[in-house]
Structures are given as structure tokens and as C-alpha cells.
A and B are shown apart, each in its own frame.
Chain A
Amino acid sequence: MKIVVCIKQVPASSEVQIDPVTGVLIRDGSNTKMNPYDLYALETAFKIKEQRKAHLTSITMGPQAATAVLNESLWMGCDEAVLLSDRKFAGADVVATSYTLSQGIKAIGDFDLIICGKQTTDGDTAQVGPEIAEALNIPHIAYVERIVEIKDKSIVVSVSMDKTNEIWEINYPCLITVEKGIFTPRLPSYKRSLKFLDYQPRTITFADMEDQNESHYGLKGSPTQVERMFPPEKNTDKELWIDSEEELAVKMANKMNQLKLL
């Protein structure tokens, strides 16, 4: 069984400020980590490999520095790692990112199952997984919270919906995105890291892609544009109370009573 796990390097902190004078984004881009939701995707792949013979490939799109998360995935349990990197991929929104990943996955070869985390902490859209599936013309199930059974030609999963849990059987090749908490992620192993001392993740660039139309990648392939960044609206109808804690508690209780909220 061939499994591909999509992972992403994200900023260690998602905090961003706007400089009030220049209007410029202030962001510490130097500290990075693996998107925490991807750890669950990786662990799901490792758990499947414990039950079945499987080859695990992690893939990421990003700059050369993103090799750090690929290495981490290898030390945790992946067999192979692939970096999609090319300046032509720059400025990609969700559609272009998903398309690039789908082309990269095609360039690697056959697969049975693609596993993604449910979302990233920097984009927070939860869209890339389903969009990759569509670009590859395979079915997907999002928000899987339990693997029920791994069969020869399909996988049975439990999905958390708003008010119910649904059990779906989905044929390979397919894609699933997994919920946080599906399994407890393992730590990278020092012993495994020694095995990969001389290993270089494979780099796939635009030239390796089946689709050689540049306008499908990066900024050109991105239908959405960020038109502006702005601080959120403030509520003008408000009161701020500064007093001793004792007084504040009394004031709160009285106000709630006055508003008939008690």
C-alpha cells in the first residue's frame, strides 16, 4: 500500500501585528515548526503501517528550508520525503497550492491513500485536502476522527458531523483529512534520524510536472487576491470599569440583574 502524507511548515507563532504608522505587517518569520495538525496525519499513516505493509511518503510545498519538516517526518516514521519547490509556485492561494500538490503527487507515482491534517495553523482554511482530491479526481472524506477498518481495496472511517457521526467506506485511491486527536502523535526518534544522515529529500520543480502550463501555478494560478489588511472593527457601545475587585464584582452582579439576565 502506498500512502502520501501532506505536511506544511508554518510559523511557530501565528501572531501578526500591523505597524500603525506604515501599515506594514510585522511578523516573525524566522521561527518555524511543523503544522501541528499534520502530526495527526502522520501518526494515522504510521498506525496503518503497523497493520499493513505500506510505503509512506511525506510531501510539502515550500522553500528549501521546509526540508526541516520533511526530516522530522522521516525521523518519526516516513520512508521517503519530497519537496515541491520552485519560484513559479510563489504567491499561490488555496486553488494553486492544491493544484501544485496534486501535480507533485502525480509526479511521485501511484498511490492508494493521501492523508492530510484537517487544516493549517497559518491559513486555517481546511480547504487544501478536499481541493487536492478534486484535482486528482479521487473521492475524499474530511474530518475523519477514527479509522474503523483498513481493507484491501477500501478504508472505513468514522467522521464527526455537526450533530451525528457517520461511517463511510471509501475506495482507493482516495484522500482523507484527519481530526486532531485521532491518534497520539509520536516524537521523532534519534535512532531513525541516524538512518537518514545522508538522505536528501527529493526535490520536484515545475519542470517535473505533467502540466507544463505556468498559468496554473503560483500567483497566476490563484483566483483570489488579498485586497487589503485591516484591524478588526471595534465595538463603540461599551463601558470599561476599573475599580477594586470587590467593587467590580458587585457592579457586575447589579448590572446583570438590571438587564434581567439573572
Chain B
Amino acid sequence: MGKIIINQNKVTYENAQEAIKICPFGAIEYQNNKLDINSACKMCKLCVRKGPAGVFEFVEEQVKAIDKNEWQGVSVFVEHNNDKIHPVVFELIGKAKELVKVTKQKVYAVLFTDDAKKFEDEILSYGVDKLYVYEHQEFAHFHVEKYASAMEDFIKKIKPSVILYGGTSIGRSFAPRIASRFKTGLTADCTILGMKENTDLIQNRPAFGGNIMAGIICPNNRPQMATVRYKIFKMPAKEKPHGEIVRMGVDQLDLSSNMKLLAVKPKDSSVDISEAEIIVAIGRPFKTAEDIALAKKLADLLGAEMASTRPLIEIGLMDPRKQIGLSGRTVAPKLLITLGISGAVQFAAGMKGSQVVFSVCNDKNAPIFDIAHYGVVGDVFKILPKLISEVKVLKGLV
């Protein structure tokens, strides 16, 4: 913790211009012979390290340190819908078990439901040490205000060091509410989680939509919280249950509300690519419906779902539900064929779990070739027709 101060006596017109250029966030201003830092500053301290000598200075400020020992355990929020636990919950329990090996803490699950019986056995079978249950008829369906009241109670009484949430529609609406209530850190869409011996959670996520990962920590606030998309972590094996069920009182909870669920309507699930076993994904070179039809031919032959990167969604060529990537769906098929995709981090984060990846791209330096198992350097529109006829032959269709 600290702040950057500017020694105005060392500022000249020339070094001010130099400083402005150095800031990647455009946060340095020079007006009326005075250098200033505006609110665009991200505290990267680049100006201190690389700026004109002596102008920028970082001053440490002492903050009262929290007692981290008061906060114990890595807990997972159990999201359920329609009597079914979302599988991301089990993936997170698997990760939590890895994380606590470093700190020798316990793995907790926290469940808000109208009927705990429906879920208890399944949760314990993934090896949690303690399952905290809040049972109330008002918890039958996710309700952000009511669930937040229960989570607040859980955090105040149990003091978990970490809470992990699935990066689902529910988790992504619920977790920020809790973070704001406790003024604590929440890192969205983590793709890698690690643990330090001092119980700080290492939260890595792609940043700036580009080719960079950011390692984020929450060093002086608890609980530490993160959301993780479905299929980013592996599904753990079941084990012999050993965990204890702890029933929490619900009578004191404030379940007043200013919102009401009126109806739930099923969605057309045929377009869900996150469960697909084979996927053909297309990128920017596909510009017309005819281009897409060619890729679709291959997909149909392979029994694959079609998917794409964000640009094709943005120009309206593909259904938004078919987008692979951090802002779309995370997929983990047995076979993924990418056509004309260069492989920005955002896309990569959405397909890292794929078992076998073939990638066709004409730029041999494209980042996709750092991920693909089989990188194919060539023009996708020259390769596709030949590939289609070869597959037909091998499948005995010709």
C-alpha cells in the first residue's frame, strides 16, 4: 500500500513529455507547468521505475495488517438449479483440495437450499471436510438478496479464508454482491489458482483482452474470492465420503426482498456448445455465409458442433451462444479443430481443456500454435475442400 508523489521542483517541460509517453494508461497530465496523475492511474509504478529521475516517488504507507489465522478453510459455493448441482462446483472442490495441501486447511462447501437431502451425499462424495447447510423454503431457487443474507452469515460465523464460485450466470451475479458487502477482493474468470504458505490465494486471469496473464492477490482482506468458468479445472474423482454436515440456523436471517421471480422458461439447449464432444471453430477469415457453409460441411461429416471467435459474433455471422472464449462459452471437447483462428488469450482460455486440438492458420507465428497439438500452417480455404474429401474417403463415404 502506498502512493506516488511528484517532486514538482524536478519537473521540466521536456521530462514531463517523456513521463506522459511512458504511462501505458494515459494517466499523466501536464498543465500550467504542473505534472499531475489523474484517476486513470493503475498504480503500475512504471513512472517511478522508468520515468525521469527523481520526479516520481513511491511512498509506502503502513496499513494495519489483518490476522490471517482467524480465517480458515477454502470453501466452495454450491450452485444448484432444478434439483441438480452445477458440475463446476465439483471441479472447484477438486481444486480446493489441491490448494489446502499447501496450508493444511480444510475444504468446505456451503449450500443454500430448501431441501439439503437432495444434494448432501453427492457433495460429500467429492471429499469435502465440512458441508455447511442453510435450509429454508426461500432458498429453493437462487435469489441474490436472500442468498446474500445467508452467505453474509456464513462468512461472519465461519470466517473462511477463500470462497470459490462458478463463473456461471448465478455466480457472476452473486459473488460481486458479496465482495462489495465485505469490501474484499474478487477476481473474475480465473484460469489458474495457486496458494501461498501465508494463505494468500494466487489468482491468475487473462488481462487486457490481449496476450497477457495477470497474477492477482488479495493480501490484506478476507475472505478472498474468485470465480472460475465451467470446464477450466478438471472434474475430480469421487472418493469415500468423510465429511461432516453442519446445519446452520436460519431463523435470524433477514430474508426481506425487493425482487420476485415471476417465471422460469426453458431455453433451447440444442445450441449449447459447452457439452459438445467435437467442435469445429472458425475465425476471422470466414467472411460470408458460403465460407461458413464450407466449414459446416466438415462439421457435419465429423458430427461436430460449429463455434467461433468473437469477431464473427459481432458482425452477426454466428449465434452469440456459439462463441468460445472468456466472454463466451468454455469448451472441453475430445476434438477441437480451429480454422483461421490466431488464438488470443481470451479464446485460449475458453478451449484449454480440449483433449486434441488441430489448428489451421496461415501465420506460423500465431499464438494458437503454442496451444494446438497439431499446428497446420496454410490457407484454410485451400485445405478445407481437400480435408473434406479425405475424411469422406477415410469414413468410407465415397
Enumerate chain A interface residues (CB-CB to B < 8 A). 14-18, 22, 24-27, 29-30, 32, 61-65, 84-87, 89-95, 98-99, 119, 121-122, 124-135, 138-143, 156, 159-171, 174, 180-181, 216, 218-221, 223-232, 234-235, 237-246, 248-257, 259, 261-262
Contact = CB atoms under 8 A, between A and B. Distances in A.
A182 to B, nearest CB: 12
A98 B184 CA distance: 12
Contact of B188 (A24, A126, A226, A241): A126
Contacts of A174: 258-259
Given A95-B180, A127-B179, A63 B374 contact: no
A241 B376 contact: yes
A117 to B, nearest CB: 12
B304 to A, nearest CB: 10
B219 A245 contact: no
Nearest to B191: A232
Interface residues of B, number: 112
B120 interface: no
Q: Is the interface of B mostly helix, strand, loop or mixed?
A: mixed
A217 B173 CA distance: 23
B377 interface: yes
Contact of A134 (B181, B189, B374): B181
Nearest to A121: B209
A233 to B, nearest CB: 8
B188 A90 contact: no
A240 B375 contact: yes
Nearest to A255: B374
B145 A224 contact: no
A235 to B, nearest CB: 5
Contacts of A119: 327
A121 B210 CA distance: 11
Given A61-B39, A124-B188, A220 B176 contact: no
A159 B179 CA distance: 22
B65 interface: no
Contacts of A16: 24, 207-208, 210-212
Nearest to B24: A27
Given A86-B39, A231-B212, A252-B358, 20 more contacts: A29-B25, A64-B29, A90-B41, A94-B176, A95-B180, A125-B188, A129-B176, A161-B170, A163-B266, A165-B266, A168-B260, A218-B39, A232-B206, A232-B213, A240-B364, A240-B377, A249-B387, A250-B390, A256-B358, A261-B278
B373 A143 contact: no
18 contacts: A16-B24, A64-B38, A90-B39, A90-B40, A95-B179, A127-B176, A134-B177, A161-B169, A167-B264, A167-B265, A168-B261, A216-B183, A230-B213, A231-B211, A231-B212, A244-B378, A245-B386, A249-B386
A180 B40 CA distance: 25
B278 to A, nearest CB: 8
Contacts of A156: 262
The 9 A-B pairs of least Cβ separation, nearest first, read: A14-B209, A249-B386, A91-B43, A253-B390, A134-B180, A90-B41, A63-B38, A224-B185, A223-B221
A63 B39 contact: yes
Interface in B179-236: 179-181, 183-189, 202, 206-221
Contacts of A131: 176-177, 179-180
Contact of A26 (B24, B50, B334, B383): B24
B369 A238 contact: yes
Interface string B41-53: 1111010001000
B210 A89 contact: no
B391 to A, nearest CB: 5
Nearest to B36: A87
B324 interface: no
B43 A140 contact: no
Contacts of B263: 166-167
Interface string B117-156: 0000000000000000000000000001100100000000
A133 B176 CA distance: 10
Nearest to B348: A232
A73 B136 CA distance: 45
A143 B394 contact: no
A138 B264 contact: no
Nearest to B375: A240
B1 interface: yes
Nearest to A87: B37
Contacts of A61: 39
A250 B385 CA distance: 11
B395 interface: yes
B188 A256 contact: no
A238 B394 contact: no
B177 A130 contact: yes
Contacts of A168: 259-262
Contacts of B260: 168-170
A142 B173 contact: yes
A173 to B, nearest CB: 9
A163 B39 contact: no
B305 to A, nearest CB: 15
B201 to A, nearest CB: 11
B348 to A, nearest CB: 7
A95 B221 CA distance: 12
B25 A143 contact: no
Given A143-B173, A256-B391, A166 B264 contact: yes
B184 A95 contact: yes
B157 interface: no
A26 B44 CA distance: 12
Given A134-B181, A160-B169, A163-B81, A227 B215 contact: yes
B88 to A, nearest CB: 10
Given A30-B26, A229-B215, A138 B377 contact: no
A119 B214 CA distance: 18
A253 B372 CA distance: 16
B176 A164 contact: no
